């Protein structure tokens, strides 16, 4: 049970910190944390889940801000169908 709680806390912290860094234009670090949050959410919730889709959306928006439009499109496409 403790591992489950720690996973939830890490996911929330990674996701919130990535969001904050993105707002402050620290996109490279934000991208790293968003990727970690996605992996945690996939492991916890599976591929088809609302929380996993939120992580794909966050990655898509970060890629867009970085000018990586093809990667952005891929992530946003994934979140659209989750």
Tokens of 72: 């952005």
What is the predicted pLDDT for the residue at 52? Answer: 92
pLDDT digits (tens, 9 = 90+) for 41-56: 999 999 999 999 989 9
pLDDT at 2: 47
pLDDT value at residue 9: 53
pTM (whole model) above 0.95 = no
Mean pLDDT of the chain: 78
Domain-wise residue ranges, the chain: 2-80
Determine if residue 48 is left, alpha or beta; phi over 0 gives left, psi from -120 to 50 gives alpha, anything else beta: beta
CATH number of 2-80: 1.25.40
Confidence of residue 24 (pLDDT cuts 50, 70, 90): low
């Amino acid at each position: 049970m403790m591992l489950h709680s720690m996973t939830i806390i890490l996911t929330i912290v990674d996701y919130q910190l990535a969001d904050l860094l993105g707002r402050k234009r620290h996109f490279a670090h934000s991208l790293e944390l968003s990727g970690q949050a996605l992996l945690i959410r996939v492991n916890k919730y599976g591929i088809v889940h609302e929380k996993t889709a939120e992580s794909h959306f966050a990655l898509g928006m970060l890629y867009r801000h970085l000018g990586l439009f093809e990667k952005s499109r891929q992530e946003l496409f994934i979140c659209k169908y989750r």
